[in-house]
Amino acid sequence: MPLYIFWIWACEKFTGAGELALRLVNLFWFVPALVALALAFAGNRRRQTAIFLVMIFSPFAWYYLNEARSYTMQFSTALILFATIAHWLRDEKTSAAAETGWAAGLRSPCSAFAAAACWP
């Protein structure tokens, strides 16, 4: 939550305090999450397209993209964490990008709970 408060404060300084401006800043989290999913499944074009279409037409995603709350940030960081884990499961060698995604995902409020739930 503190990251979201700082994020909204910084975006308000750049885009203004209008309702539309505060809702559109959610795209800065959602678009990188879609890119991370696309990169995680780069070898399988059908799966990549299916995931992209599901995310684009997901009522859940669009409902929270329309909110001026932290739900999109949490949802997007969870997607980035999922994409990182999917990448790790596909490759035997982990890349520096995957390690960075894992570290960034653990810092999010939503993903920290998910990681703690599966920690041995």
Cα distance between residue 13 and residue 10, in whole Å? 5
CA 8 to chain centroid: 16
- Percentage of residues of the chain with pLDDT beyond 70: 74
Domain boundaries, the chain: 26-117
Cα–Cα distances (Å) from 2 to 9, 66, 73, 78, 108, in that order, read 11, 20, 12, 17, 10
In the structure encoding, which two tokens stand for residue 84, read together?
């990182």
pLDDT class of 89 with cuts at 50, 70, 90: confident
Amino acid (one-letter) located at 26: N
Is residue 82 within 8 Å of 101, Cβ to Cβ? no
pLDDT of 9 > 70? The answer is: yes
The predicted model scores a pTM of: 0.65
pLDDT of 119 > 50? The answer is: no
pLDDT tens-place string over residues 36-77:
888 888 888 888 888 888 888 888 888 888 877 778 888 888
Residue 61: predicted pLDDT: 84
